[in-house]
Amino acid sequence: MECIAQIGDGAFTPSHMSWHQSLPANQYTRLVEEADVIVSHAGMGSAITALQTATPIVMLPRRQEAGEHNTDHQMATARWLEEKPGVFIAWDEGELGKRIAEAQAWSLQGAALEPFAPSSFTNRLAPRLQIWTRAT
């Protein structure tokens, strides 16, 4: 199995996998489309890309108490995403292997995230937007 990492600006560089400090959006999306599983922090960009491409994602949220982030917003994001199809949350490093195995065994079966909100939502939103735009 090939592993490719996008590592950002941190000091750590992997020695047992290919890695990039940063990837252009189109190259990142292509790699996600080709991947069997994505492993990521609990960032919305990663989740949205994985869901749009129907690629299972394992998320390990960054935690404030561990000095990984300045707030616990990733914990809240992970709790919100936890019930979404194809999203597997590892709440700590000890759960990571189990969640990766679950993601590898799971298939979205074409249930990719739609690029637009469902009409049931937009139909409810449209009248409120019309009122708001008339008021401005």
Whole-angstrom Cα distance, residue 128 to residue 48? 26
Residue 6: inside a domain: no
Residue 111: inside a domain: yes
- Residue 89 above 80 pLDDT? yes
CA distances from 123 to 2, 44, 132 (A): 44, 25, 15
* Per-residue model confidence (pLDDT) at position 90: 95
**DSSP letter for each residue of the chain:** ---EEE-TT-S---SSSEEES---HHHHHHHHHH-S-EEE-S-HHHHHHHHHTT--EEE----TTTTS-SSSHHHHHHHHHTTSTTEEE-SSGGGHHHHHHHHHH---TT-PPPSS--HHHHHHHHHHHHHHHHH-
For residue 54, the 8-state DSSP code is T
Compare 122 and 39 and report the one with higher pLDDT: 39
* Per-residue model confidence (pLDDT) at position 118: 73
Give me the percent of the chain exceeding a pLDDT of 90: 32
State the amino acid at position 62 in one-letter form: R
For 24-82, the pLDDT digits (tens) are 989 999 999 999 999 998 888 888 888 888 899 999 997 657 556 666 678 888 888 88
Q: Are 74 and 62 in contact (CB under 8 A)?
A: yes
Give me the percent of the chain exceeding a pLDDT of 70: 84
**pTM assigned to the model:** 0.74
Residue 49: inside a domain: yes
Residue 123: inside a domain: yes
Q: Please compute the mean of the pLDDT values over residues 9-17 and round it to a whole number.
A: 88
Residue 65: inside a domain: yes
Range of the domain at 85: 35-135
Residue 109: inside a domain: yes
- Residue 131 above 60 pLDDT? yes
Q: Please compute the mean of the pLDDT values over residues 17-30 and round it to a whole number.
A: 91
Residue 90: inside a domain: yes
